[in-house]
Amino acid sequence: MDFSLSVEEREIRDWVRTFVQRELIPREPEVLRRERAGQPGLPADELEELRLKARDAGFWGVQTPQEYGGMGLSAVMTALLEAELGRSFVPFRFGGTADNILFQANDEQRERYLLPTIEGKRRSCFAITEPGAGSDAKAIRTTARKDGGDWIINGEKTFITGGNEADFVMVFAVTDPAKGAGGGVTCFLVDREMGWRSEYIDTMGEWGPAALIFQDVRVPESQILGELGQGFALAMQWIGRGRYLLPARALGACERLLAMAIDHANTRETFGAPIAERQAIQWMVADSGVEIEALRWLVLHAAWQVDSGMDSRHAQSIAKLYGGIKANEIVDRVLQIHGGMGYTRELPIERWYRELRLLRIYEGTDEIQRRTIARNLLRGHAKIGGALG
């Protein structure tokens, strides 16, 4: 096995690492100040400025196919780039992307939604989660009723990422209650101007999701994305498209956090010696180092399966579960090593503490990942030993 990167891959990775060090990390004190004041840490104009700067260097649409103007990078390279971006908590992502299911758009929808979204002129959100349907996506109750050549949508979605900023939504509604998820759920492209509204949901982190309310929202038949009744299959494509990227970003955060802990342990003295000489501190550093390496290979293995055309869902669930649990344990140790200062908002540790907690909930909770992993093993869908078994 060859674990080395090619010259081109290393250059791409190193450019992003330099970008993070020069453009993102220096902004962290101001981002923290703004967030403490209840303001966006990275205003839209600054985000756009950073994205254009990256675009000038060729970083646009990291996973977007080249025929759409993107880089079309592999899953492994994308995971490596996410880890680099994760080294800073500044909420930056490269531009030029669109939700994967938007590529199911027909010609008219492609011109109206897909291409403008890739170009950054439109903003979308994905809405399937409801107050009574989180992990159990099959339990959605939002309905779409046929009325002549139109559909009337009623219902509420919750915890929708980007829902406050989006100008259109990919919303999933029940169009045939008798069939349910097996052919009775449809995805609709719905512009905000068609009548839905969003409400901000305050959370313990800086992430502000939205509740979306649909009350007799009328949309024409042409707004169906994909095929009538096949929306649940589309939703699963979206949900399973990149769970490995979430722990990849957490990996970068853990690397930065551990580096902070090591630096602090080597300089902070108690009883006449650096705390790095205390066994309690050494064990926390050692455990964190081992877990970071394990997470790195779980993430890259899942990404490698994606690139190899394999069914990567089992490997992604393992990476997502392990990454969420261990990232929370590592940030807790780092806070402990820093003592009282780690608990303050003078350092970014408490912010990462709040942010990483979300990793155990969204895009499939720990419990859902365990359910998936156990079911795959018990039913023989996955082998002990994985791809090398």
The Cα 156–Cα 171 span in angstroms is 10
Give the count of beta carbons closer than 10 Å to the beta carbon of residue 24: 20
Spatial CA neighbour of 356 closest among 257, 282, 211, 240: 257
What are the C-alpha distances in Å from 328 to residues 333, 350, 357? 9, 11, 6
Q: 192 and 238 in contact (C-beta within 8 Å)?
A: no
The Cα 336–Cα 274 span in angstroms is 15
Amino acid at 255: E
Q: What is the DSSP string of 287-354?
A: HHHHHHHHHHHHHHHHHHHHHTT---HHHHHHHHHHHHHHHHHHHHHHHHHHTHHHHSSSSTHHHHHH
Q: Give the contacts of 11 (CB within 8 A, at least 6 positions apart).
A: none
The Cα 143–Cα 174 span in angstroms is 5
* Max Cα-Cα span within the chain: 81
DSSP state, 237? H
Catalytic center residues: 363
Chain centre distance of CA 190 = 23
